[in-house]
A = this chain, B = another copy of it.
Amino acid sequence: VPLQDAEAAAEELERAVQVNGMVGVQIGANVNGMNLDDPSLLPFFQVAEKLQAPIFIHPDNVPALDRIPRYNLRNFIGNPLDTTIAAASLIFGGVLERFPNLKVCLAHGGGFVPYQRGRFARGFKVREEAKLRISRPPDDYLSRMYFDTVIHFEPALRYMVETCGARRVVMGSDYPAAMGDPEPVQFVASSRLKEEEKKLVLSENARELFRLDLKT
């Protein structure tokens, strides 16, 4: 991706938010296979931070296809994998360190990140390559991210809320994908989460993330 594309994207984001009143933007978990920590993309993230526009990251053009050609594993594994690589690139690649107020929301319950975050933390402790572009442990950057609820398993929803924080989980539907949750409100409402947690996940977090009270 040539530099001017990221700058054009940043300009379009600015127009969408300031002229058209959009509350945020969705991007792919990679740009034609290029990870999100590529320096050419910095202008985009800079403008997103300035606008306080949340970025929703959804998989696209997933990796490892040679190993997941069958049984639709391309979706079941490839999609959360792509999101995981995006999150790790933003964390270890220093994007979240450089833009501390960037608001990032990960699709599908954050891919594989919430469950294996201890592996990221352990890696930062024992492997020098993990410290190339960041000064603090990965959990410090991870704790600023948001996660949608499209995880299809109630204990995983509770785990997400327990470990990422009730203020970091936002109801998602993945509509109209077949792999989405056809009853996303019910999924949260019927869970064993506390009532105040359900309220946050179902409405308050989105109001704050998308700054809905400041609009209209």
Contact = CB atoms under 8 A, between A and B. Distances in A.
A145 to B, nearest CB: 15
Contacts of A84: 77, 112
Contact of A118 (B37, B88, B121, B153): B153
Interface residues of A, number: 53
Contacts of A114: 115
Given A30-B67, A93-B70, A152 B77 contact: no
Interface in A69-89: 70-73, 75-77, 80-81, 84-85, 88
A205 interface: no
Contacts of A35: 67
A215 interface: no
A168 interface: no
Contacts of A22: none
B115 A108 contact: no
Nearest to A76: B123
Interface of A: 30, 33, 35, 37, 63-64, 66-68, 70-73, 75-77, 80-81, 84-85, 88, 92-93, 108-109, 111-112, 114-123, 126-127, 129-130, 132-133, 151-153, 155-156, 159, 162-163, 178-179
A115 B76 contact: no
A30 to B, nearest CB: 7
A155 B162 contact: yes
Given A64-B81, A71-B129, A163-B155, A76 B118 contact: no
Contacts of A93: 70-71
A89 to B, nearest CB: 8
